[in-house]
Chain A
Amino acid sequence: MAEVTPLIRDELLPPRGPERRHLISITDLAKDDVERLLALARTFSASLEREVKKLPALKGRTVVNMFFESSTRTSSSFELAAKRLSADVMSIKATGSAVDKGESLKDTALTIGAYDPDVIVLRHPHIGAPHVIANATTAHVVNAGDGTHQHPTQALLDLYTIDEELGGIAGLHVAIVGDVLHSRVARSDIQALVLMGARVTVVGPPPLIPRGIESMGCEVSYDIETIKHADVVYVLRMQKERMLEGANYVPSLREYTARWGVTPERLRPGQKVMHPGPMNRGVEIDPVVADAADALIERQVRSGLVVRMAVLYDLLTHGPVEVKVAEIEEVA
């Protein structure tokens, strides 16, 4: 067989110069980037212990939150993170905006872009939406979830939570359980955990585990008993709204829960349990597990605030982390 012509990859990559960094996917980050962001988040966490929680770090900067899909924790967390850093914050939702009138994402982006925002945080139901914003505006783009693709700040806050609770990430075994197929959280988490040296096993019924997911560096198991071997059990939400009618991913929620629900009996004492929310109590997670002391679910929400502060701050500043930490301590 003749020589294979090299594939064109670089030529097709979206414009993402070092001058204008975005956080669209975990694959945008190297290990030191993650370490730097987690260190920054720890610094912010300490600053939040003070009586006055607001820092002037991003005073005069504008952060626009564009949420075109429902969200409680991500939107509130980005809004508060920007406010804690003294940025001006604007929030746009699909309902009640020109999106209702059929305006395209690009036109909405051009409209918002006319205000020269520094950062646009985007939640959108479709893969590739952050690229449209990045191409149409001069803002740094933070992906707060695009369809079933990526949710990078969720993965960073999960790393932060695990690191805080277990004193490190490398060498840990994390089992990710449930609807992996429709989960942007699972994809970002697998990449982030593997990047930081953890071992990851995805567990669920075969139709909900994408073919070829092993290429991301994780293991696959269809047996719920596997989760007993993990240090952390990460439970995914059953995304009924993303499932095509008649696709028969699961014959019934009852059978799913019976076979793959995370119950106290399927865990061993001391295992940490996480969930990105919102939970379907009694479906993928037993309420007893959700409320147990080993559940880190509220910790994840708190981590979200400091991690998103770190992401916003990092995107809008440059230089090594030591300098930044000193700056923050000075202004605080």
Chain B
Amino acid sequence: MEMLFGGNGRSDDLSYEGVRVVDPTEGIDEILNLTVEAGVITKIEPGSGGNGRVVAPAFVDPHVHLRTPGREDEEDISSGTKAAAAGGYCAILAMPNTEPAVDSAAVLGALVERAKDEAEIPVGFLAAISKGQEGAELTEMVDLAERGAAGFTDDGRPVASPGLLRRALQYHAVTGRRIAVHCEEAALSRGGQVHEGLVSAELGFGGYPSVAESVMVGRDLMLAAYENQPIHLLHLSARESVDELRSARSAGVQASGEVTPHHLCLTDEVVRSLDPNVKMNPPLRAEEDRQALLEALKDGTIEAIATDHAPHARYEKDVPFEEAPFGVTGLETAFSVLYTRLVEPGTLSLAALIDRMSAGPARIYGLERPRIAVGARANLVVLDLERTWRVEESGFRSRSPNSWLLGQTLKGKVVETVANGKLAYSA
């Protein structure tokens, strides 16, 4: 059953001579010549030299807010998928917390049609678990799955009722589409603006404690274990959540997790700037949390890096920190910032970064894994690891400028993206 839509229309002929090809799943890291004919990889031959560029399986972002329908002023399918192509992605999954929410076959069907016309790269849509994401009534999950929903989530909000989440997990046995949960116990996070810790104490912010996430992670994992159905934990931020995920996985629960570039690179110390572009949900946490997330990413407890790309109009973020909405963009900077902050200093290997940005998220949602093999559709990213560039608003394809990286210089750049056989981006 199809889960990705649009982005087709062309199958290109491409060739790469003497490039370093890295595909961790295929066990490739060598200098090769690569030929793509009519969108399919047809030749992989030994090459020589090496022009400083790396060709890898293109990335998959399992967590993007395309703001469509409802807030096309912030992002739409065209701008969001163009931004994704520029970030090296060959597929993205959009979250259903739109206006209206993607909670019926009609809304989903309209999105699929728009994607076929407008998407630069293939895009999939998660549907809501509850009608209107209000946490009361289950959506018609079987119907939605048949119409192409890539998974189910009430992201942006937790599934407050354990009874409702249990029902959704039970329907997974029929739909086979992953249930993804935003873990937040609202009774503990209410009024919370930033991580509850030393920085919130000093600055006077209402705290959003780690335990608000981890108690919900614990509950949701228990429900998944009881129903013996898989569950995916969105944007993990706290050490305790990671511990819960690790022990559930080792107990055989089919649980997966994702982490964002900002939670891997920043801590709540940056909140001292009171810059609304470092305000997100879940919030940036302490250094020990960041270290735990890194460890989990390295050991595979967390399989996927997700941008949680959350565009906001400038006027909505140009307000006092406390009034600003949660969320930052990330599609166009994810690889570069993680390469600069984690791979260059030796914290994470390039192979692990590529795996967590590509094969990991594809596996979670059952999407076809981008791979470098003869006969495979070309889903490739070309990376220039030596190139430095400055993150500037004028360079964004996204409609919204709320990046936490504005003005910063990064090393490593996506220079070409091939998505489903089509050259979708070229720097």
Contacts and interface: CB of A to CB of B under 8 A. Distances in A.
Interface of A: 1-5, 7-9, 11-14, 104-106, 124, 126-129, 131-132, 146-150, 182-184, 187, 210-213, 215-216, 244, 247
Contacts of B295: 1
Contacts of B346: 2-3
Contacts of A148: 204-206
Contacts of A182: 204
Most buried by B among A126, A127, A211, A212: A127
B408 A8 contact: yes
Interface residues of B, number: 45
A106 B315 CA distance: 9
B395 interface: no
Interface stretch (B153-161, B173-181, B262-270, B365-373): B262-270
Interface in B310-345: 315, 318-324, 341-342, 345
Contacts, number: 118
A-B pairs with lowest CB-CB distance, top 3: A128-B321, A148-B204, A12-B273
Interface of B: 190-191, 193, 196-198, 200-207, 265-267, 269-270, 272-276, 278, 287, 291, 295, 315, 318-324, 341-342, 345-348, 404, 407-408
Given A5-B345, A9-B272, A210 B207 contact: yes
Contacts of A210: 200-201, 204, 207
Given A147-B204, A210-B201, A211-B201, A9 B270 contact: yes
Contacts of A105: 319-320
A183 B204 CA distance: 8
Contacts of A244: 190-191
A7 B270 contact: yes
Contacts of B318: 104, 106, 132
Given A3-B346, A106-B319, A211 B207 contact: yes
Given A12-B270, A210-B201, A215-B198, 19 more contacts: A2-B345, A4-B347, A5-B342, A5-B347, A9-B272, A104-B319, A127-B205, A127-B274, A128-B276, A128-B321, A131-B275, A147-B322, A148-B204, A148-B205, A149-B204, A184-B204, A211-B197, A212-B200, A216-B202
A146 B320 contact: yes
Contacts of A11: 407-408
Nearest to A7: B269
B274 A131 contact: yes
Contact of B322 (A106, A126, A183, A184): A126
Nearest to A148: B204
Nearest to B205: A127
A14 B273 contact: yes
